[in-house]
């Protein structure tokens, strides 16, 4: 699943998400961006809205980010599509917005790399966690990943140098199960959250 931006949409990509990443928050084109998202997310090939979210380590004011994030949540709720979230140093804000907006669609934290305590707080509030390159690069994430219930995680590459096979192999090792079993777990989670049946071809999606 490839992330797309509304201002450079490519209709040749088979399965995608579409959203305004907080890095590219732009109030001047917000109405046109939201209109395109609203149109494209209704299509069958659009599996989710995202990446969207909050990032406190960029110069764009957090209040502008929140405004754009909340507007996208409304679209996801209307179309009943999951949200793929980019979140940096703003987990409390994300949780609060989820409660305030009474979000019913699944919300997936992309590229999770934080503590077991943060993971538990997110899981307790109904979020899914997606692990990728940081799982390979940070051994301290082993216990965090092991603590996540099998029906609450995804695996990804985010188009980095490490392969998806490496991520699956390490995830299986950490969970002490065979790779085929972890593939089945992720497949079941994918089909549940994205409401899309997958065949038995190798999993190559990038979240």
Annotated binding site for a divalent metal cation: 51, 86, 110, 158
What is the token pair recorded at 11?
């209709």
Cβ atoms 49, 83 nearer than 8 A: yes
Which positions make up the binding site?
A: 51, 86, 110, 158
Which CA distances in Å does 59 have to 24, 34, 55, 77, 122?
11, 22, 9, 28, 25
Q: How many CA atoms lie within 13 A of 134 on its CB side?
A: 13
Cα separation, 134 vs 142, whole angstroms: 10
Residues in the chain: 207
Q: What is the DSSP string of 133-201?
A: HHHHH-TTHHHHHHHS-GGGEEE--TT-SS-HHHHHHHHHHHHTS-HHHHHHHHHHHHHHHH-----SS
Coil, helix or strand at residue 105: coil
DSSP-assigned letter for residue 34: H
């Amino acid at each position: 699943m490839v992330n797309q931006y509304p201002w450079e949409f490519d209709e040749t990509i088979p399965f995608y998400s579409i959203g305004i990443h907080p890095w590219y928050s732009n109030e001047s084109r917000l109405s046109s961006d939201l209109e395109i998202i609203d149109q494209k997310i209704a299509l069958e090939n659009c599996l989710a809205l995202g990446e969207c979210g909050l990032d406190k380590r960029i110069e764009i004011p957090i209040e502008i980010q929140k405004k754009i994030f909340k507007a996208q949540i409304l679209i996801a709720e209307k179309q009943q599509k999951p949200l793929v979230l980019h979140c940096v140093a703003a987990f409390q804000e994300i949780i609060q917005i989820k409660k305030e907006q009474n979000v019913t669609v699944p919300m997936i934290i992309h590229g999770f790399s934080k503590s077991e305590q943060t993971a538990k707080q997110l899981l307790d509030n109904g979020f899914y966690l997606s692990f990728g390159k940081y799982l390979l690069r940070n051994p301290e994430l082993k216990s965090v990943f092991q603590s996540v219930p099998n029906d609450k995680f995804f695996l990804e590459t985010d188009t980095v140098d490490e392969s998806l096979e490496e991520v699956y192999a390490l995830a299986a090792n950490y969970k002490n199960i065979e790779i085929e079993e972890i593939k089945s777990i992720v497949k079941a989670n994918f089909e549940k959250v994205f409401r899309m049946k997958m065949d038995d071809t190798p999993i190559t999606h990038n979240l």
